[in-house]
Amino acid sequence: MRYPHQRKTAAANLQKKVSIVVPAFNEEKNLPVLIQGLRRVFDTQPYDYEFIFVDDGSKDDTARVLKTLNAQDGRIHYIKLSRNFGHQNALKAGLDFADGHCVICMDGDMQHPPELIPAFLSKWEEGYDIVYSRRTSTDDSSFFKRTTSNMFYALANRLSEINMEPGTADFRLIDRKVADALLQFKEIDPFLRGIIKWLGFSQYGINYTADPRFSGKSKYSFVKMIKFAFQGITSFSIRPLYFAVYLGFAFSTLTGICLPYVLYSYYMGNAIVGYASAGWASILMSVFFLGGLQLIIMGIIGIYVGKIFLQTKLRPNYVVESSSINQRQYDLVEF
């Protein structure tokens, strides 16, 4: 089978090549430290390598730092996006440009320890196509963040058609054939951790303890986390729509059951104690509750309609402003 957008890999080289993809948003202080850690790891590994940093519309000196590092070492590449397109799209940009025999994705805040990479590579050499990480704990994560994260995975697994383990994120290794499969996806707002789980292949999980951020603060606010959760759930299932239907049937049934009691209370109560003027508070609360429920259901439907609307526009996931690897050659690959 022939895929026109797949690129020539380093398959002709005797030495295997590893591509490291790192999305970066305002990480000017973290990047030099991360590169030092990555170099220490690969100095002990028998692999050629490249570091691909994707500047996702940073407002600090991240772009300048990356250009300086690229001038010092040709194996350090940068991709500067024209604006902030979001973590998942920045990650996809790096995957689109990577041409290693395998690709390792990680964050640029030092919470993904480079020291775990040899374990990734060891399992890859054993034959696993995807080696992913499971975060067990972190020193600077709050109880609220841990709780909401566990709630997200529980809800996502209940409502979607994939099973994601708690603590899994975007710190993983994928084989070349998995990266080539990802190139076929043209989804708007891709949820990569779900897509990679959906792809299948042979996968292996490794536990790790996240280090504190070296510098700066997390870019994921509570609002962004909620949006990310909705994005993940609605990307892989239409079960929320079925849930809305079931909820509507449940309330319709409940109304039918309660109707005889309401009629009896009205006629009998009105004749005895003037029931017609009583109970206005409960009626008002019922109207508010059902009105809010309707808005929730309409919102669920609206999310799916919005996804269809954005997908039909066929806009790119990202726009590259400048890059140190924009001259990389593409080729057709036979399967």
91 and 74 inside one domain: yes
pLDDT of residue 50: 92
| Residue 128 amino acid letter | Y
Contacts 24+ apart (CB under 8 A), 139-148: 139/210, 139/211, 139/212, 140/212, 140/213, 141/210, 148/222, 148/225
Averaging pLDDT over each range in 20-29, 163-172, 313-322, which range is the top one?
Answer: 20-29
197 and 109 inside one domain: yes
Alpha helices in 200-277 (DSSP H): 222-235, 239-273
| Residue 117 amino acid letter | I
pLDDT of residue 274: 47
The encoded tokens of residue 252 equal 């319709």
Q: pLDDT tens across 174-186, in order?
A: 999 999 988 888 8
- Look at residues 30, 29, 52, 50 and name the one whose alpha carbon lies nearest to residue 39: 50
142's enclosing H/E stretch is none
65 and 126 inside one domain: yes
Residue showing tokens 């290693």? 100
Higher pLDDT, 172 or 13: 172
- With bands split at pLDDT 50, 70 and 90, how would you rate the model's confidence at 266? low
d(CA 51, CA 57) in angstroms, rounded, equals: 18
In this structure, are residues 317 and 81 in contact, taking their beta carbons and an 8 Å threshold? no
280's enclosing H/E stretch is helix 280-312
184 and 291 inside one domain: no
Eight-class DSSP state of 212 = P
- Can you spell out the DSSP letters for 21-49? EEEESS-TTHHHHHHHHHHHHHTTSS-EE
| Phi, psi (degrees; rounded to nearest 5) at 154 | -65, -45
38 and 130 inside one domain: yes
In this structure, are residues 155 and 229 in contact, taking their beta carbons and an 8 Å threshold? yes
The encoded tokens of residue 155 equal 């809800």
- Can you spell out the DSSP letters for 80-117? EESS---HHHHHHHHHHH--SSEEEE--SSS-S-GGGH
- With bands split at pLDDT 50, 70 and 90, how would you rate the model's confidence at 239? low
| Phi, psi (degrees; rounded to nearest 5) at 9 | -90, 180
Residue 12 burial (CB count, 10 A): 6
Eight-class DSSP state of 50 = E
190 and 228 inside one domain: yes
pLDDT of residue 145: 61
In this structure, are residues 160 and 198 in contact, taking their beta carbons and an 8 Å threshold? no
Domain span at 251:
239-312
Averaging pLDDT over each range in 97-111, 134-148, 178-192, 214-228, which range is the top one?
Answer: 97-111
Total length of the chain:
335
Task: Determine what percent of the chain is predicted with pLDDT higher than 70.
Answer: 62
Mean pLDDT score of the chain: 76
152 and 225 inside one domain: yes
271 and 193 inside one domain: no
Average pLDDT over residues 272-286: 55
305 and 179 inside one domain: no
Q: pLDDT tens across 209-226, in order?
A: 776 665 556 555 556 666
194 and 184 inside one domain: yes
191 and 211 inside one domain: yes
In this structure, are residues 28 and 35 in contact, taking their beta carbons and an 8 Å threshold? no
Maximum C-alpha span of the chain: 95
The encoded tokens of residue 121 equal 């590579």
In this structure, are residues 173 and 121 in contact, taking their beta carbons and an 8 Å threshold? yes
The total number of structural domains in the chain stands at 2
324 and 307 inside one domain: no
Whichever domain contains 91, its CATH number is 3.90.550.10
In this structure, are residues 77 and 53 in contact, taking their beta carbons and an 8 Å threshold? yes
